[in-house]
Amino acid sequence: MAGSSAMAAFMSPRSTVAPLALAVGMLLISMVSYQCGASLAKQLFPQVGAQGATAYRLGLSALILLLWRRPWRRSAGRRDWAALWGYGLSMGAMNLVFYMSLRTIPLGIAVALEFTGPLALALFGSRRLLDFVWVALVVAGLALLLPLRGQLHALDPVGVMYALAAGAGWALYIVLGKRAGAAHGADAVTLGTSVGALLAIPFGIAHAGSALLSPALLPYALGVAVLSSALPYSLEMVALTRLPARTFSTLLSLEPAIAAVAGVALLGERLSLLQWLAIATIIVAAAGTALSVQRPALAEPLAN
């Protein structure tokens, strides 16, 4: 009996570490998948534009999720439909303006600018001195990225505004997503993606028209849908239930760096040393914010 107790005590750390390591791996794969999907979507822009790529992503993602989850089998009841529609519309708008930003600015920079939305949300109402350090880092990163007059290789200001608008949409998506998730549970993502598709598809049709029906583009469109939504959302959901909130948020801060590497490797984009430095400052601010703001949730995994 004593021997078996000792063996259990010896094995328990490994049994605890293994699920966490698996969850971390799933989250990293999710982030890589998302950025690969964005890179693939950008290659569709010459044929269907950013609007058409968004329509592909959300429309096909919604179809895949609806067939997989089949939410109509569950009773709707009295739920917060306003939150769900707000969540879905913010998802659609966020994806649309983010893809619009990718027309003229590199992927890594677009993601770094988009990240300012969740950062601002996390820091909203903060009063501690340390939190203002993270704010200062974000401001420094933006100062290095924004298209200042006379700056060599300045970023397109319209693309920058689209990326910042995507950040605002991301913050709204988080706020409304919590309410939609509480009301609709695991079906919130499926239903929200469907609402987002209702917003994005008319823009895609208006811009690309019948080009969206091209059989030659369907494999790429499915790749965008799977890599950008269906696969990463599914993996993230698993990671969310197994990782402490602080760990999840800290790892998520790597996303601008992963996006920058994906842009260089898959799209042939080139960033200056100052732009890499700007992305690094925003990553540090995101990680610092997660480590400080999320500290009370260290021992609790994020809810679905």
Listed as ranges, residues in the chain with pLDDT below 70 are 1-17, 75-79, 125-127, 147-154, 240-241, 245-246, 293-304
Task: For residue 244, list its beta bridge partners.
Answer: 301
Return d(Cα 90, Cα 178) in angstroms, integer: 13
Return d(Cα 268, Cα 79) in angstroms, integer: 47
What per-residue confidence (pLDDT) applies to 169? 92
What per-residue confidence (pLDDT) applies to 246? 66
What per-residue confidence (pLDDT) applies to 299? 37
Residue 13 in any domain: the answer is no
Q: What is the DSSP letter of 229?
A: I
Residue 199 in any domain: the answer is yes
What per-residue confidence (pLDDT) applies to 153? 56
Model confidence pLDDT, tens digit, residues 252-278: 888 898 999 999 899 998 888 888 988
Residues sharing a CB contact under 8 Å with residue 83, sequence separation 6 or more, in sequence order: 176, 179, 180, 183
Residue 39 in any domain: the answer is yes
Task: For residue 301, list its beta bridge partners.
Answer: 244
Q: Which domain holds residue 204?
A: 35-297
What per-residue confidence (pLDDT) applies to 210? 93
What per-residue confidence (pLDDT) applies to 75? 61
pTM of the model: 0.82
Residue 14 in any domain: the answer is no
Residue 6 in any domain: the answer is no
Give the chain's domain count. 1
Residue 7 in any domain: the answer is no
Residue 19 in any domain: the answer is no
Maximum pairwise Cα distance, the chain: 76
Residue 22 in any domain: the answer is no
How many residues are there in the chain? 304
Model confidence pLDDT, tens digit, residues 22-45: 888 888 899 999 999 999 999 999
Start-to-end CA span in the chain (Å): 39
- Go through 26-51 and write b for each residue having 16 or more CB atoms within 10 A of its CB, e for each that does not: bbeebbbbbbbbbbbbbebbeebbbb
| 37 touches 57 (CB < 8 A) | yes
What per-residue confidence (pLDDT) applies to 188? 85
